[in-house]
Structure 1
Amino acid sequence: MKKLFSSLILAGGILALAPVAEVLAQARGGNPGLTIFSGVERENILDYRLDFRGRRGRWDRYRLRVPGDKLPQGAAEFRISYPDYYNGRFDTDEIEVRIDGESQPLKDVVWDEEGHFIAIDLEEPLEPEQKVELVFSNVRNPRQGGTFYFNGQVKPAEGVAIRQHLGTWIIDIN
């Protein structure tokens, strides 16, 4: 009886701390979940944050982070592709590229709904090795929840102007 009681207390404590652990992980700015089997190599999984918790059918703000080591030649343009079953909505007037919290001037933002990608063309190329945050405000999350792989590419500011793979943001909408 005593063993059962202490097991129940331990299980209850773990369940009580689970939401706290999730909040701490999100506040830290990492992926809001543990990704074990994704089909994407760990070094290619990029961090992100959903400011309003990624609830299906609701408004949100996506913060897609790119570490500086993924931009050894700087950046002139970003392209984010998403799966055809993602039916959320983007507001191209509310997309920013930020460095240290400061919004960078953009030449153009194009949302190709049929091609399932967003292209962000910078007015001035970014210096190499800078940490970047792509901020998508006024996003309408899809009505159906799920896991969506957003793939990032960059057109370097230096060298050959061919888009290069940055990595993947594995976004969970629930």
Structure 2
Amino acid sequence: MKPAVVLVGPPGAGKSTVAAIVASRLGLAVRDTDDDIEAEQGISVQDIFVEAGEPRFRELEHRAVARALSEHDGVVSLGGGAPLHPQTRQLLRDHRVVFLDVGLAQAAARVGLNSGRPLLLGNVRGQLKRLMDERRPVYTEVASVRIDTDGRTPEEVAEAVVDVVKESR
């Protein structure tokens, strides 16, 4: 069993929103690995970062991604940092991965300045730029396709993802 498509990208790219629309249009289920982690651990991603630290979260995240990739045949949305784990990158090689790319201005507007995202605490725009700069090469490495989300509605981005899925079937 393999997912129809896996979405990756930085915070603010619209992964969760687009995943839900794509799943609906294709008649598939959606799975978000951050939701899986929260359900398994019984606490929020933010609390895991605070209580256990980022290394522990990344291990939980890798396990959640591995399960989703082997158990789910719908649409999978990964947390923004999931592809940083070397073993996760290896697993993604066998899947249709779409990188939802977004510019800094759009990402900052979508994430907001009062972000509950643990890696964006403090100067949200500065932290977001740093994360995006660090992660872009990783997203590019794991992706089969890159879709620019700037200036596009979630529905327009979802339609582009649906096209990718239909073309590869």
What is the TM-score normalised by the length of structure 2? 0.22
Larger Rg belongs to: 1
Larger relative strand fraction: 1
- Answer 1 or 2: higher relative contact order, Cα 8 Å, separation at least 6: 2
